[in-house]
Structure 1
Amino acid sequence: MNAATSVPTLPSNDRAADWRARVAHAFSRAAPHYRQRARAQQVMAERLLERLPERAGAVLDLGCGPGDLTAELAGRFGAGNDDGATIHGLDLAPGMLTEARRHHGEAIHWLCADAADLPLPSGSLDLVVSNLAIQWCPDLDAVLAEIRRVSRPGGRVLINTLAPGTLSEVGQAWARPAALLEFRDAARHRRAAHAAGFRRVEITARLERFHYPDLAAVMASIKGVGAQVARNGARLSRADVACATRRFETLRTEDGLPVSYHLLTLDLER
């Protein structure tokens, strides 16, 4: 991974369509064991829950995965009650929505769609929440424009995404780190949010670091949540793995092998 590069390169519609298909396939494959391997994602979701408004009548969890955060939102805002909120969980991966329905039922409205083409009416949402999903979207401007479109005037948008430097230890360990995503910086997100027309744009940065016992556990935490689809790479040999292990071991602390996530939290208001 080249941490200095901030924007994924997907110049053609065909390549973008292929990208979406690969992301949907990878996350669908990861869906059955996502919960067991998504500790980092679960911890970072707490940063969004801390910022929730007291009330919301219509809510979207964008990139909902297996629906655990969506269910938390449903509990917070009383989905299913006579005067409760309408909660939508949207994901590109059908397999994730299968898991979401299995674990959380049909009181939540599950939608399979692209974040850049939301199947919701304009001005219909009080709150949009998204935890670690929009970094997978090739067209950030289109995604934020769509989120603004479906938000009502005064509506809140809370997004967690990732900045350059994320997974830097993994990039250092692998001489040719196939399939690690390139991340956009805070300035790029700020420009896109302003271009979309949000009247309030706040972005905070935070370093989240997690530790694992060995390289296999590190790679399982990444691959297990579908996060090895960004680039096509050659199959790794045993020698490649051994070299990566030696490099990663030079970074070991008393807590284990570190993996850093440079978290950006966007707090937007239409």
Structure 2
Amino acid sequence: MNTPATSLLLPRWQERVAHAFSRAAPRYDALASAQRDIGEALWQTLPQSAHHVLDIGCGTGYWTQRLAERYPIAAITGLDLAPGMLAHAQAQYGDAIRWQQGDAAALPLDDASVDLVFSNLAIQWCPDIVAVMRELARVLAPGGQARITTLLPGTLSEVATAWQRPEALLQTPDASTVQRAIHRSGLHLIQHTCAQRRFFYPDLNAVMASIKGVGAQVARPNARLTRQALVTAKARYESLRTPQGLPVSYHCLTLQLESTR
């Protein structure tokens, strides 16, 4: 039986990330419209064929299942740090896909064992981007490719402005740092694009549901807001309102990589 591992020992920060996403699993699909929209653009860049496919940060398995349908004869692995996400994915999509708990910076796969890596908005949670790129270079077979989206500084800037607590939000490496990590890994950067995507919500509750509901806010020390601070934050956010609603910005980096070994 394909049973996700649940005993992976994680550093404290990654343990909090895994817990946040496990807790978000039941409602993730209903609230992940921004993530889905960003992923659709990445999907259009996929190669025609693949035999061994890895979905890093597979979450509830939405993209993993689509990969299985796109590449019906391929071996598909969905990997995630959060056991709750993997359990949800397995319950939805069954055992034809291999569901594996693991860290993108220490992939539990053999060298040169994958010819396509797909990862939509996942590796920004990894504190060591150099280790992530080295692991991609290690597991990709010669000529293997990776299609990745990750987040850049400026993501959720409106939320940071409203709260005036930027330390409570995810800290991400900038594009040049990611590119240096790719160069150090030996991977070939085929193409990269940076883009800002804005999504709109009717009120602050909807904004916060979209963030918390997909696990994108992880508790940090002294990051909680008082009732008065929440009232003030709501007023600040309302000052940013547009005719479409309250904006939430995602600064995205899309990568097309290839193994040159």
Q: Secondary structure at the match of 1:119?
A: coil
Q: Secondary structure at the match of 1:32?
A: helix
Q: Secondary structure at the match of 1:45?
A: helix
Structure 1 unaligned blocks of 5 or more: 1-15, 79-83
Q: Which residue of the partner structure matches residue 7 of structure 2?
A: none
Q: Which residue of the partner structure matches residue 224 of structure 1?
A: 213
The one of 13, 17, 22 equivalent to 1:28 is 22
Q: Distance in 2 between matches of 1:20 and 1:175?
A: 24
Q: Which residue of the partner structure matches residue 74 of structure 1?
A: 68
| TM-score for both structures, normalised by structure 1 | 0.90
The one of 36, 41, 49 equivalent to 1:55 is 49
One-letter amino acid of the counterpart of residue 213, structure 2: G
Q: Which residue of the partner structure matches residue 126 of structure 2?
A: 137
Q: Decide whether aligned partners of structure 1 residues 94 and 262 sit closer, same or farther in structure 2, where only a CA change above 3 A counts.
A: same
Structure 2 unaligned blocks of 5 or more: 1-9
Following superposition, the deviation at residue 178 of structure 1 comes to 5.1
Following superposition, the deviation at residue 235 of structure 1 comes to 2.9
The one of 26, 32, 41 equivalent to 1:38 is 32
Following superposition, the deviation at residue 234 of structure 1 comes to 4.3
One-letter amino acid of the counterpart of residue 48, structure 2: E
One-letter amino acid of the counterpart of residue 53, structure 2: V
Q: Which residue of the partner structure matches residue 148 of structure 2?
A: 159
- For the Cα contact (< 8 Å) 2:189–2:255, is it kept in 1? no
The one of 84, 101, 104 equivalent to 1:115 is 104
- For the Cα contact (< 8 Å) 1:169–1:260, is it kept in 2? yes
Q: Which residue of the partner structure matches residue 97 of structure 1?
A: 86
Structure 1 residues 44-95: Cα deviation after superposition (integer angstroms, max 9, x where no partner): 11021100000000000000000000001010001xxxxx000000000000
Q: Which residue of the partner structure matches residue 13 of structure 1?
A: none
2:169 is the alignment partner of 1:173: no
Q: Distance in 2 between matches of 1:129 and 1:176?
A: 32
Q: Which residue of the partner structure matches residue 254 of structure 1?
A: 243
- For the Cα contact (< 8 Å) 2:57–2:80, is it kept in 1? yes
Q: Distance in 1 between matches of 2:105 and 2:56?
A: 11
Q: Distance in 2 between matches of 1:194 and 1:201?
A: 12
Structure 1 residues 6-27: Cα deviation after superposition (integer angstroms, max 9, x where no partner): xxxxxxxxxx810111111111
Structure 1 residues 231-267: Cα deviation after superposition (integer angstroms, max 9, x where no partner): 2234322211110111111110111000000110011
Q: Decide whether aligned partners of structure 1 residues 49 and 246 sit closer, same or farther in structure 2, where only a CA change above 3 A counts.
A: same
- The percentage of aligned residue pairs carrying the same residue is 57
> How many equivalent residue pairs?
250
Task: Compare 88-97 and 200-209 and name the one that shifted more.
Answer: 200-209
